[in-house]
Structure 1
Amino acid sequence: MSLTAALNSAVSALRVNQAQVQLASANIAHAQDPNYTKKSLRTEAVTFGNGQVGGVMISGYASTLSVTLRKQVEAQTATSGASDATNEYMSRIQDLLGTSADQSSLTKAMNSFISAWQDFQSQPDSAAAQQAIVGAGSQIGNEIHRVAAGLDQLDTDVRSDIGNSVNQLNDLLKQLFQVNLQMKTALTDSSASADLTDQRDNLVKQIAQYVDVRTVEQDDGSVSLFTAAGLQLLDGPPSLFSYDGTNVTRVSDGASINNQLSGGRIHALLNFRQDSSASGKAVSMDPGTEVIRKLRAQLDMMVGALTTTSGTPPSLSAAYNAAGTSQRVSASFQTTVTPTAYQAQYSTVNLSGALQTGDVFSITVQGKNFSYTATDGDKSLDQIAAQLSAQINADTTLGITAIPGIASLQLVGNTLGQSFTVQTAVNNQIPELDGNLFTGTNRYDFQMNAALLNGSLQLKKNSASDVVKALTSTDRNFLATGIALTSVSYSGMMTGVVGSSITGAKQLSDQAKFDADSLDMSTQRYQSDTGVNLDEEIANLQVLQNAYAASARLLTVVQEMFDTLEQAVR
């Protein structure tokens, strides 16, 4: 070997060693970066004519890749993304309903209602016992309203989350498209190409959080993306998607892609708020699918169970309605026309029962009391109504006109749009509510009867025994979307709904933990196979140090030989 060849060999070796030291340093610096794969140099010998070795040169850069493990991580990322999203919102539902079936606010309100009726049964003349029933019944309504409002807010949040996730998917696809373009122009074996490969794989993994993807790698390192159902996400320019509150659609043609998504956060959230009732399909029994629809239906089931007058054994409302009044004579009223800007208020007072001499009838209108005591000459309730009407009409400052009728009188406001208050009593007893303990038809308008809430009517004292029997009977069946409760009481209905939700939440929580653990294991295996091993890199640095020293020594020897030759020539 000539001195020139030896010099070239030493210089090229130093250059390669320098590049390898820089690469090892970069590997060590990124050892904790989960999105970085170990980089290495490709080298080849440089030869001159006649097969003479002229040193070594860098032929390219390479990333440590494991396509099988990478795809496994991507698939598990989609699975974990889906279960994590479902578990996140199911946890919020448990916060709404309660994490214990017995301690749920709905169950506690129903139990308090039953207990109040049992106290009323033993103390029918107790005003406090009556008030306890009204308070507990009102609380049931409040709880149903609270849960209904919470579900509506949750639904709004899920829709917003889907919209944001679709926007994030679009953004990631655009970023991946730009990386694809850069890979097409980068030299295949360059350091830039190796770094772009890491960016590409990291973007695909982020996309997999939202949709389950299948990758097709091109010769230049760029990738095409499709869903498992074959939906094109990226093949050249990226596809763009939008969310209209129900469907995720492809912007190019407006077609819904809901059924072409599987795995990932978007698919899980779509399932969570899915409502297949319009399609006539049976409701999904998966605990993470149609969750909001099921709970809304179950709240309406509670309302129906508390207001229905049909069924066997007799329902709560049927038991109350069938009970007779405890009052011999009474005066009740209802507002038949509410005041508006175009009409006056109309309220009707109805008198009923067996009239006796000495009965005291009282009507309070706008805070003014008008009363009449029955005499021996009063033979019918019609006469009582006429006497009260005359008193009311005599007060010209009241702004109310009384019209007597058959055992009744109608109160009419003289001014459009103005409301007035009415309170009636007979013998200092306000009338009993004849029926409709609860009013409303759904989770939004359900409430305790307004007349009980404002104190204008009281509960029927004779109803307590039958109502308690109806409330505590365990022979009832309650059916709603996603749930079938048999042989339970009203309290069991509440407990069953909450308990079913708790069971579903536990399944989803366990699945989310399992999927997260599986993703961690897959990620660790991938990083172990493709990531940086610090011990290995430090050992490589020591080898490179020795090689660098050897090349440097060769340069020194060649330099000394050139110096010797120069002196000899002189």
Structure 2
Amino acid sequence: MSTFSGLNTALSGLNAARTGLNTVGQNLTNVNTAGYTRQRVDLAGAGVPARGALNDAGTPVGQGVRVTGVTRFGDTFLDGRVHTAFASAGYASVRADALSGIQDTLGEPGDTGISSQLNGFWGAWQEVHNYPGEAGPSSVLLQKATGLVQSIASGYRALDGQWSRTRDQAAAMVADVNATATAVATLNERIRAAQAAGTPANDLIDQRGTLTEHLADLAGGTARDAPDGTVEVLVGGNALVSGKQANTLKLTGAAGMADGAPVTLEWERHPGVAAGLDGGRLAGALSVLAPAGDGGAIAQTAAAYNALAAKLANAVNGAITANNGVTPGGGPTDFFSLQAGVPAALGLAVVPVGPDGIAAGTGGKDGSVADAVSQLGTGADSPDKLWQGAVMTAGMAIKAGLQQATLAGSVSASAVAAQRSNAGVDLDEENVNLLAFQHAYQAAARVMTAVDEALDTLINQTGRVGR
């Protein structure tokens, strides 16, 4: 190695140390940046120079150090595990939120729940039987009946509102999926161009990784790396993103719970072609929006309110008719009515407007019919049993859904922790690297100073001996 080539060797050390310091600085400044993956500078020794007149003598040495690249500490396996965990957690989270809303609507068990109101309703009929012809018990009965009818209608309306809000959320999720997919496609193009030009694209890859994780949470999207640096995002086995192309989705189907039709997801470029999902929040929303016959939790619970309303009206009116009940005022004997063309829970109404409209007996002050009606709550086929069965079914689904959400959340947290332990910035490690590159820089600078001093002596002092 000639003296002049020693300057180049020292310069390569300075450049390598500076690149290392810059990389450490990048890591440290992004220690709290979400989705950032730590980077490492890769160094390699420069090759031995070609032999020539200047370096013909002695043992040949290298030409210093060179930077071969800056590597991301990403792990495809850990990233895929996070995507899978996000898909499951997103699905379970939306279902848990919906089931919690149903639980709040039911209010069972509780003093204001329908079960408690049914008990009060039958008890009011028994009081009418005990005190036939008296206005007080009859007024209490009408009050209990009105409160029960209002609670049934209120529960149904709450579920209908929850269904509409969930559908709006699903539409917003679809818009989010489409926007995110377009952003991933744009980053794919930029990353491919950067890698083709030999420019580092680590930060762009981090941004894209954050977006693909968001797609996994929304629609269960799975990412697959391509040789040209792009990723392909698959949803239900079909490409949502391929290269710089994004295939968008659209939400179709029922606009209201009463429609009884499913809410469907389609490919916007292929109307009528259903888009399958592998999980995610959108899949969870679609599952709770399904019709009652297809397992939709909201519609199933609303159907239970309708079934209760119809059962209650038919049971009470049937008992009055079967026992030849008559009203003191000579009017209609039915206690409940159901309005045609609307859900039974909303069409249920109390017919009597006063004590004279209650068919409590077969005539006069006879309370035999009221006694028969009061016993309806104890039968095997009673409205109470119907409602208890609906509450138990909903309760088991709610418990299972909440447990699933808790488990999926734990798995997701574990997957993220494993990913960040590999890709996250470790302050202690970066501080050590900072000191190492600092000393390397100082050492390379000292070598350059030594070579400079040697050159100064050779150039300015040679030949001056003996003057």
TM-score (structure 2 length as normaliser): 0.87
Q: Which moved more, 1:553-562 or 1:147-156?
A: 553-562
Give the distance between the partners of 2:446 and 2:412, measured in 1 at CA. 50
Give the distance between the partners of 2:10 and 2:232, measured in 1 at CA. 45
- Tell me, what secondary structure is at the counterpart of 1:517? helix
Which of 273, 279, 303 pairs up with 1:297? 303
Give the Å deviation of 1:539.
1.4
Higher helix share: 2
Question: 2:397 corresponds to which residue?
Answer: 504
Amino acid at match of 1:10: A
Question: 1:469 corresponds to which residue?
Answer: 375
Question: 2:257 corresponds to which residue?
Answer: none
1:60-459 superposed matches below 5 A:
60-98=69-107, 100-103=108-111, 105-187=113-195, 192-227=200-235, 229-236=236-243, 237-245=245-253, 246-258=263-275, 260-275=276-291, 283=293, 289-308=295-314, 315-324=315-324, 431=329, 434-440=332-338, 442-449=344-351, 452-453=352-353, 457-459=357-359
Give the distance between the partners of 1:317 and 1:249, measured in 2 at CA. 47
Give the distance between the partners of 2:331 and 2:32, measured in 1 at CA. 73
8 Å Cα contact 1:62-1:189 kept in structure 2: no
- 1:49 aligned to 2:57? no
Q: Residues 402-458 of structure 1, C-alpha deviation per residue, up to 9 Å, x if partnerless?
A: xxxxxxxxxxxxxxxxxxxxxxxxxxxx61555211110611211111xx1366624
Amino acid at match of 1:254: P
Give the distance between the partners of 1:94 and 1:57, measured in 2 at CA. 65
Give the distance between the partners of 2:146 and 2:200, measured in 1 at CA. 69
8 Å Cα contact 1:94-1:505 kept in structure 2: yes
Give the Å deviation of 1:102.
4.4
8 Å Cα contact 1:78-1:265 kept in structure 2: yes
- Tell me, what secondary structure is at the counterpart of 1:12? helix
8 Å Cα contact 1:34-1:527 kept in structure 2: no
- Tell me, what secondary structure is at the counterpart of 1:272? helix
Amino acid at match of 1:12: S
Report the structure number with the largest CA radius of gyration.
1
If asked which structure has higher relative contact order (CA below 8 Å, sep 6+), I would say 2
Amino acid at match of 1:496: G
8 Å Cα contact 1:46-1:56 kept in structure 2: yes
Give the Å deviation of 1:560.
2.2
8 Å Cα contact 2:326-2:359 kept in structure 1: no
Give the Å deviation of 1:21.
0.9
Describe the shift of the 1:326–1:5 C-alpha distance in structure 2 as closer, same or farther (beyond 3 A): closer
Q: Residues 519-557 of structure 1, C-alpha deviation per residue, up to 9 Å, x if partnerless?
A: 000110111122222221111112212212211221222
Question: 2:54 corresponds to which residue?
Answer: none
- What runs of 5+ residues in structure 1 fail to find an aligned partner? 277-282, 309-314, 328-429, 477-488
8 Å Cα contact 2:195-2:229 kept in structure 1: no
Give the Å deviation of 1:40.
1.1
Give the Å deviation of 1:169.
0.5
Give the distance between the partners of 1:298 and 1:220, measured in 2 at CA. 55
Q: Residues 312-369 of structure 1, C-alpha deviation per residue, up to 9 Å, x if partnerless?
A: xxx3322222334578xxxxxxxxxxxxxxxxxxxxxxxxxxxxxxxxxxxxxxxxxx
Q: Which moved more, 1:44-53 or 1:160-169?
A: 44-53
Describe the shift of the 1:29–1:238 C-alpha distance in structure 2 as closer, same or farther (beyond 3 A): same
Give the Å deviation of 1:135.
0.9
What is the aligned-residue RMSD (CA, Å)? Answer: 2.2
Give the Å deviation of 1:13.
0.8
Question: 2:55 corresponds to which residue?
Answer: none
Question: 2:256 corresponds to which residue?
Answer: none
- 1:38 aligned to 2:34? no
Give the distance between the partners of 1:244 and 1:324, measured in 2 at CA. 52
Give the distance between the partners of 1:447 and 1:105, measured in 2 at CA. 19
Give the distance between the partners of 1:453 and 1:512, measured in 2 at CA. 48
Describe the shift of the 1:190–1:505 C-alpha distance in structure 2 as closer, same or farther (beyond 3 A): farther
Question: 1:533 corresponds to which residue?
Answer: 426
Q: Which moved more, 1:34-43 or 1:15-24?
A: 34-43
Question: 1:521 corresponds to which residue?
Answer: 414
Amino acid at match of 2:81: Q
Percent identity of equivalent pairs: 21
- Tell me, what secondary structure is at the counterpart of 2:71? strand
State the aligned residue count.
434
8 Å Cα contact 2:320-2:333 kept in structure 1: yes
